[in-house]
Amino acid sequence: MAIQPRTNFSFTTFLLTGFPGLEWAHCWISLPIFAGYLVALLGNITILHLVRTENSLHQPMYYFLAILAVTDLGLCMSTLPTVLGVLWFDARAIGLVSCILQQHFLHSFSFMESAVLFAMSLDRLVAIRFPLRYATILSGPRVALAGAILGLRSAVITAAPSIRLFTFQYCHPGALSHAYCDMIRLACSDTRFNSIYGLCIIMLAMGSDVLFILISYTIILYTVLSIASARERLKALNTCVSHILAVLCFYVPVLGLSIVHRFGRHASPVVHVLMGTVSVLFPPLMNPVIYSVKTHQIRRAILKVVSLGKLR
């Protein structure tokens, strides 16, 4: 670990945290975590393959689902190397540049996930409120443009605090809170900009995403209730179930992690590590499972691929 004085002293290597006090069980703990990463990767790759190859899935809803799958893959790959490296090989050391880059990509993909979930709520709104113009309003090029804009937004809003991390002095020794990088608390420089900016973008970006999702579903509910046929009302609402579950799978763990960080300072470090791991792994793991189980077209496409494989 390289050390220099305060206007000269700075750590350039940091230590990642596994499950404190349970180091002897890391190999066993790694099994469900590895299985979660494996299912998340295979599930999201399968979704991408199906959307690309199945003509019946060449619709706006599934294009947005493909964008969500790419985001989930990015979220997985941002943390997989360090999480499994700590659990399998006790590879806890990580350099300054690698740590900042990991934190930047993790935060960028998290904001991207939130933005895509908002875009998918608009997709459901357009599909239910304007069914005859749905494919025209949300054409393939428009969905691709929306995905590019959301990705650019997520990268840009997290760039400023990430760049400032390179200028900080890190004179507080100690391990990071998780098996991935969250290094601001180890800095001894003035971190007020990062703290205030981070709070603002969470409130403005994720907060506005949640607000617009709620507004979208308020309009959807109003539209559905105006449909005369009870069967058609149920059919319209069923198209939203997968998206609502995906929203809950993302925001509930994030909220839980925030509560633990805010009110659980005296809780066991294992609780913090567990909640941090769940918050980054649970959405990419559950999204392909939810859409595969709850969406008839995805389920049928999977069964078609499986049956073709058996025939071969």
Q: Looking at residue 192, which CATH number applies to its domain?
A: 1.20.1070.10
The three-state secondary structure class of 54 is coil
| Residue 241: closest CA among 205, 294, 187, 277 | 294
pLDDT of residue 164: 93
23 domain-assigned: no
pLDDT of residue 4: 41
Q: How confident is the model at residue 265 (pLDDT cuts 50, 70, 90)?
A: confident
Residue 21 lies in a domain: no
Show the tokens assigned to 182.
């969250």
What does the alpha-carbon distance between residue 149 and residue 158 come to, in Å, rounded to a whole number? 14
Establish if 312 belongs to a structural domain: no
State the residue range of the domain holding 99. 32-307
Q: Which amino acid is at 72?
A: D
Residue 177: band (very low, low, confident or very high) from pLDDT cuts 50, 70, 90:
confident
Provide the angle, in degrees to the nearest 10, between the axes of the packed helices 96-129 and 60-89: 150
Query: What pLDDT was estimated at residue 1?
Result: 39
Specify the pLDDT at position 261: 83
Indicate whether 206 belongs to any domain: yes
Average pLDDT of the residues in 214-233? 93
| Confidence band, pLDDT 50/70/90 cuts, at residue 312 | low
Per-residue pLDDT at 185: 82
The CB density around residue 74, as the number of other CB atoms within 10 Å, is 20
Give 3-state DSSP helix, strand, coil % of the chain, rounded to 5.
Answer: 80, 0, 20
Between CA 106 and CA 158, with CA 100 as vertex, the angle to 5 degrees is: 55
Indicate whether 4 belongs to any domain.
Answer: no
The model's pTM is 0.94
* Cα distance between residue 274 and residue 29, in whole Å: 11
Q: Quick one: average pLDDT of 16-42?
A: 95
Mean pLDDT of 61-72: 97
- Of 143, 69, 141, 83, residue with least CA distance to 112: 69
Three-class DSSP category at 175:
strand
**263-292: average pLDDT:** 92
Q: Is residue 135 part of a domain?
A: yes
The residue written with tokens 């299985």 in the block is 35
Cα–Cα distance, 119 to 175 (Å, whole number): 38
Place of tokens 């650019």: 152
Residue 94: phi and psi, rounded to 5, are -145, 140
Model pLDDT, residue 311: 52
As a whole number, mean pLDDT of residues 102-119 equals 97
Residue 309: predicted pLDDT: 60
Q: Token match 């540049």: residue? A: 97
Mean per-residue pLDDT of the chain: 91
Whether residue 286 is contained in a domain is answered as yes
Task: Tell me what pLDDT residue 99 has.
Answer: 94
Q: What pLDDT does 8 receive?
A: 58
- Using pLDDT thresholds of 50, 70 and 90, give the confidence band for residue 266: confident
Compute the average pLDDT of residues 135-139.
94
Q: Give the CA dihedral 276, 184, 164, 197, nearest 10 degrees.
A: 70
216 in a domain, yes or no?
yes
Q: Map residue 87 onto helix, strand or coil.
A: helix
Total domains in the chain come to 1
Predicted confidence (pLDDT) at residue 173 exceeds the cutoff of 80:
no
Confidence check: pLDDT of 295 > 60: yes
Provide φ and ψ at 295, rounded to 5°.
-105, 120
